[in-house]
Amino acid sequence: MGLIRSWVESANREGCDFPLNNLPCGVFSIDGDDPRCGVAIGDFVLDVAALEAEGLIDLGGPLLDVPFWNEVMEAGPATWAALRSRLTGILAKGSADRAAAEPHLWPLSEARMHMPFLVAEYTDFYAGRNHAFNVGSMFRGPENALPPNWLHIPIGYNGRASSVVVSGTDVRRPWGQLKGADHPAPIFAPSRRFDFELEMGAIVGQASEGMVSVARADEMIFGYVLLNDWSARDVQAWEYQPLGPFQAKATATTISPWIVTRAALEPFRVATPARELPLLPHLTEPGPMLYDIALEVWLTPDGGAETVITRTTYAEMYYSAAQQLCHHTTSGCPMNVGDLLGSGTISGAEKDSRGSMLELSWGGKEPLALVGGVTRSFLEDGDRVVFRGGAQGDGYRIGFGECAGRVIAAHADPVDAGR
Amino acid sequence: MGLIRSWVESANREGCDFPLNNLPCGVFSIDGDDPRCGVAIGDFVLDVAALEAEGLIDLGGPLLDVPFWNEVMEAGPATWAALRSRLTGILAKGSADRAAAEPHLWPLSEARMHMPFLVAEYTDFYAGRNHAFNVGSMFRGPENALPPNWLHIPIGYNGRASSVVVSGTDVRRPWGQLKGADHPAPIFAPSRRFDFELEMGAIVGQASEGMVSVARADEMIFGYVLLNDWSARDVQAWEYQPLGPFQAKATATTISPWIVTRAALEPFRVATPARELPLLPHLTEPGPMLYDIALEVWLTPDGGAETVITRTTYAEMYYSAAQQLCHHTTSGCPMNVGDLLGSGTISGAEKDSRGSMLELSWGGKEPLALVGGVTRSFLEDGDRVVFRGGAQGDGYRIGFGECAGRVIAAHADPVDAGR
């Protein structure tokens, strides 16, 4: 399938993130008015809440009259398909609906983006083979790098839904307990090793009770976003044994504002890499459930030039989101609409494809050179981190837009200082 | 302060869990009608939603017209105090409101209890000194029992809010990946080491952004429940390194149906035990923030007799909920109304005061003798576990009611079997 042409001409431009093939779901506002559901098309956002209110979209009852996509998700896959089909019809070249729809297009450059959905709960995984090996080598030495369970389970831990923010939100450097190896006791201080993690987020669009198969898990996923799981490495090193990361990961997790639906990504399915050990049957993929999505990380110091510091692909993951979701339910854990699953950090095999500063600077031992002679071991105040990603089709691109955040200075005294 | 006498005579009975001094908050229904907010008094539940609807309670706007206590919590401490004061007035001996209130009393024996609040997120801590030492000894040997950070941080990890259920809900034995030390690879099978954990749950009643002091954290807590953090020990042993417990703790967490407010517990404040190492200043308690609450665990095999297997007290905790909540915000992590904090397993120093089967049977090596010649290493299908707890005042008791759950058999094939 090639590009589906739209009467919104910018959507037909080569390299555009948002052709008619994409139709990602977001929540936007213009000039401080009320946030509402929109779909990106070319250089515009289409106010689908207004289209529903005017009867141009009919999903069998109001689902777009709230500033989040959870109600559409809850309505289920048949509704997802109906909406996609209807929007394709409205926006296709030659559509009879053009005159009715056109007044509801707003320039993306004027739109302020909000969280596209209410996050029910947030789970972060550790499912990138190279990342696990790199980090394991630094924390436990190369011989113990990969934990014994790693090739059998998509290791995950519960994160903090309240800390998930939309692209563009500043991220304040956290305080935390830190302890140097040579110090007898910890101190309480701003993190000195604040980092990003390049991830994809999968959004659960259907609830479940009891365990679900990998096949059903795949069907439960509504779509994907870019995800930055900001991490305080020094806090993590001191706190994470024995019960895992906690405050090191609770400052913020930034997601891109557009949910790219599973339907839009369908042409880009790829299988997970070859298994190094056989998986137990319940975790085996019945078909390709990863996607080949090219990913980039751009780092820009305050007032400086931007540097691409990482290029990799989501196809590097050892486990797909469907496998992760299946594993998540093995205990009978109920899943809900709006649950967010972080893929785990995505690192390629090469140095310039690593998905965190921890790996790029090898724990600070090999500072990274940026454009303009600047170097970085970890993030400094004022640094802006931007993820970009997309899948390249035949004559079109399914893009994610940006997942961006700037690090701002820690509070001088954090106690009761508010955000 | 002694017993406050009520015209509900059963509330004045010695040993009653719900005297007028208590006034715990729950959600109940009668004969399958709609769940609504109620307050326990003696052998009855008072339908406070009806009292508000009739104008007998005025909180400045409807807060009790929903089947959960989150709206009251969100309204803040002044509203909490106003409601308590008004209810004390209505229910006190000689109250002029008796005639208006009495029709809204329902026998507890006829009430079905529901979740008393919407759980925003759930965090579980590991803050009992004896439990940490016991479990650490079994998992890592006595010399490495207490992790280096344990005396500096109330160690916590994020749990799964979707798995929190109210007392009385059956708990299905989970499947999971298990791996024996002598086996080359894991298997997928029902857990063989399913366990309870005796905990208290603190309910966050006020939202925050940024870090909060221990003093402010204490003021944010609305009340407490008994909490059973069901745990699959064999799943936990295989999965928990390096990122902590995940599916081992996601089957269910049971809470008692009555939120006992901080106000009711005020007379029972005690300080945490002496520090073995000084805490950093931000975690130091400005006053006593634990409570002396006697706790018991009762175990009843299917068709068998009940045995008290544990007696201990919440005063055993090394960290208070206020300290835990402060630590939870050090990274800037936002907290929300309805966040639930599990204390961590509460074990005393003696064998018969241990708060889990893992400790009581020392990992299965010393099976526990129950009434009637039955023994237990871990929980078996049909076993009913009941927690009871209360603080003993001068002539009255602030009781929590029961936190009960029965283990039911695992699904024969869990995949897509639903709950």
Domain ranges for chain A, please list them. Answer: 9-114, 122-408
- The answer to whether A239 contacts B153, with C-beta atoms less than 8 Å apart, is yes
Q: Residue A21 contacts by C-beta under 8 Å, 6 or more apart in sequence?
A: A1, A3, A4, A264, A393, A396, A398
Query: In B, which residues are within 8 Å of A235 by CB distance?
Result: 331
B262 is in an annotated binding site: no
Best to test chain B binding among A149, A152, A158, A214 (most B CBs inside 10 Å): A158
Q: What percent of chain A has pLDDT over 90?
A: 95
Instruction: Return the DSSP state at B361.
Output: T
Tokens of A173: 């450097």
Residue B131 a catalytic site member: yes
Asked whether the domain spanning A122-408 has the same topology as the one spanning A9-114, the reply is no
A197 is in an annotated binding site: yes
Q: Which of B175, B327, B334 sits opposite A162 (nearest CB)?
A: B334
Q: Residue A307 contacts by C-beta under 8 Å, 6 or more apart in sequence?
A: A298, A299, A300, A370, A371
Residues found in chain B: 419
Q: How many CB pairs under 8 A join A and B?
A: 228
Q: Residue B314 contacts by C-beta under 8 Å, 6 or more apart in sequence?
A: B200, B290, B291, B292, B293, B295, B343, B346, B389
Query: In B, which residues are within 8 Å of A172 by CB distance?
Result: 332
One of B104, B131, B327, B328 is an active-site residue; which one?
B131
Find where tokens 């604040």 sit: A194
Q: What is the 3-state secondary structure (H, E, C) of A103-141?
A: HHEEEHHHEEEECCCCCCCEEEECCEHHHHHHHHHHHHC
Q: Residue A189 contacts by C-beta under 8 Å, 6 or more apart in sequence?
A: A175, A176, A178
Please list, residue by residue across B49-73, b when 16 or more beta carbons sit within 10 angstroms of its beta carbon and e when fewer do: bbbbeeebbebeeebbebbbbbbbb
- Distance (Å, rounded) from C-alpha A20 to C-alpha A142? 47
Task: Report CA A272 to chain centroid distance, whole Å.
Answer: 19
Query: In B, which residues are within 8 Å of A169 by CB distance?
Result: none
User: How would you classify residue A134: left for phi > 0, otherwise alpha for psi between -120 and 50, otherwise beta?
Assistant: alpha
**In the prediction, which pLDDT does A139 show?**
79
Q: Which of B160, B209, B331 sits opposite A333 (nearest CB)?
A: B160
B240 is in an annotated binding site: yes
User: How would you classify residue A98: left for phi > 0, otherwise alpha for psi between -120 and 50, otherwise beta?
Assistant: alpha
Q: How far is CA B6 from CA A166, A264, B41, B111, B249, in A?
A: 52, 65, 9, 21, 42
- Distance (Å, rounded) from C-alpha A395 to C-alpha A14? 7
CATH number attached to the domain at B9-114: 2.30.30.230
- Distance (Å, rounded) from C-alpha B28 to C-alpha B11? 19
Q: To the nearest whole angstrom, how far is the Cα of B398 from the nearest Cα of chain A?
A: 32
Residue A296: beta bridge partners? A311, A388
Count of alpha carbons within 13 Å of B282, Cβ hemisphere only?
25
Q: Residue A212 contacts by C-beta under 8 Å, 6 or more apart in sequence?
A: A220, A325, A326, A329, A335, B415, B416
- The answer to whether A251 contacts B333, with C-beta atoms less than 8 Å apart, is yes
- Distance (Å, rounded) from C-alpha A254 to C-alpha B8? 54
Question: Counting beta carbons within 10 angstroms of the beta carbon of residue B394, is it exposed (0 to 12), middle (13 to 18) or buried (19 or more)?
Answer: exposed
Task: State the pLDDT confidence band at A419, using cuts at 50, 70 and 90.
Answer: low
The string of DSSP codes covering B221-257 is EEEEEEEEE-EEHHHHHHH-TTT--SGGG-S-EEE-S
Residue of chain A whose alpha carbon sits nearest to that of B173? A331
Taking only the tens place, the pLDDT of each residue in A18-66 is 999 999 999 999 999 999 999 999 999 999 999 999 999 999 999 999 9
Low-confidence ranges of chain B (pLDDT < 50): none
Count of alpha carbons within 13 Å of B172, Cβ hemisphere only?
20
- The answer to whether B121 contacts A160, with C-beta atoms less than 8 Å apart, is yes
**In the prediction, which pLDDT does A418 show?**
74
User: How would you classify residue A21: left for phi > 0, otherwise alpha for psi between -120 and 50, otherwise beta?
Assistant: alpha
Taking only the tens place, the pLDDT of each residue in A297-319 is 999 999 999 999 999 999 999 99
Query: In B, which residues are within 8 Å of A280 by CB distance?
Result: 177, 186-188
- Mean pLDDT across chain A: 97
- CB atoms closer than 10 angstroms to residue A143: 8
Q: What is the largest CA-CA distance in chain B?
A: 74
- The answer to whether A121 contacts B121, with C-beta atoms less than 8 Å apart, is yes
Q: Which of A148, A411, A416 sits opposite B213 (nearest CB)?
A: A416
Please list, residue by residue across A106-119, b when 16 or more beta carbons sit within 10 angstroms of its beta carbon and e when fewer do: bebeebebbbbbbb
Comparing B322 with A138, the larger pLDDT belongs to: B322
Of A114, A388, A335, the C-alpha closest to A225 is A388
Judge whether residue A216 has pLDDT over 60: yes
Query: In A, which residues are within 8 Å of B159 by CB distance?
Result: 158
Question: Counting beta carbons within 10 angstroms of the beta carbon of residue A14, is it exposed (0 to 12), middle (13 to 18) or buried (19 or more)?
Answer: exposed
Task: State the pLDDT confidence band at A181, using cuts at 50, 70 and 90.
Answer: confident
Give the CATH fold of the A122-408 domain.
Fumarylacetoacetate hydrolase; domain 2 (3.90.850)
The string of DSSP codes covering A330-380 is TT---B-TT-EEE------SSGGG-SSHHHHTTTTTSPEEPTTS-EESS--
Which residues of A participate in catalysis according to the annotation? 131
Taking only the tens place, the pLDDT of each residue in B133-180 is 999 898 788 898 999 999 999 999 999 999 999 999 999 999 999 998
- Distance (Å, rounded) from C-alpha A250 to C-alpha B254? 25
Report whether the peptide linkage leading into residue B301 is cis, meaning its omega lies within 30 degrees of zero: no
**In the prediction, which pLDDT does B291 show?**
98
Taking only the tens place, the pLDDT of each residue in B70-107 is 999 999 999 999 999 999 999 999 999 999 999 999 99
Strand-pair category, A384-392 with A294-300? antiparallel
Best to test chain B binding among A246, A283, A327 (most B CBs inside 10 Å): A246
Task: Report CA A334 to chain centroid distance, whole Å.
Answer: 22
Is A169 within 8 Å of A252 (Cβ atoms)? yes
Tokens of B123: 């965090």
The string of DSSP codes covering B3-68 is PPPBSSGGGGSTT-S--TTT--EEEEEETT---EEEEEETTEEEEHHHHHHTTSS--SS--SSSSS
B143 is in an annotated binding site: no
Of B44, B180, B123, B169, the C-alpha closest to B326 is B123
Q: Which of B185, B211, B240 sits opposite A414 (nearest CB)?
A: B211
Please list, residue by residue across B96-118, b when 16 or more beta carbons sit within 10 angstroms of its beta carbon and e when fewer do: ebeeebeebbbebeebebbbbbb
Residue of chain B whose alpha carbon sits nearest to that of A283? B188
Q: Which of A148, A152, A210 sits opposite B414 (nearest CB)?
A: A210
Report whether the peptide linkage leading into residue B154 is cis, meaning its omega lies within 30 degrees of zero: no
Find where tokens 């409807």 sit: B62
**In the prediction, which pLDDT does B419 show?**
57
Query: In B, which residues are within 8 Å of A156 by CB distance?
Result: 243, 246
Is B82 within 8 Å of B23 (Cβ atoms)? no
- The answer to whether B244 contacts A243, with C-beta atoms less than 8 Å apart, is yes
- Distance (Å, rounded) from C-alpha B205 to C-alpha A135? 38
B276 is in an annotated binding site: no
Q: Which of B140, B187, B232 sits opposite A331 (nearest CB)?
A: B232
Of B221, B251, B218, B256, the C-alpha closest to B234 is B251
B351 is in an annotated binding site: no
- Distance (Å, rounded) from C-alpha B344 to C-alpha B355? 10
Of B195, B386, B168, the C-alpha closest to B295 is B386
Of A127, A128, A125, the C-alpha closest to A348 is A128
- B213 three-class SS: coil
Strand-pair category, B164-166 with B253-255? parallel
- Distance (Å, rounded) from C-alpha B227 to C-alpha B387? 8
- The answer to whether A419 contacts B210, with C-beta atoms less than 8 Å apart, is yes
- The answer to whether B250 contacts A331, with C-beta atoms less than 8 Å apart, is yes
Q: To the nearest whole angstrom, how far is the Cα of B64 from the nearest Cα of chain A?
A: 24
Q: Residue B113 contacts by C-beta under 8 Å, 6 or more apart in sequence?
A: B26, B27, B28, B166, B167, B168, B257, B258
Query: In A, which residues are within 8 Å of B152 by CB distance?
Result: 177, 179, 185-186
Judge whether residue A178 has pLDDT over 90: yes
- The answer to whether A158 contacts B158, with C-beta atoms less than 8 Å apart, is yes
**What type of residue sits at position A108?**
L
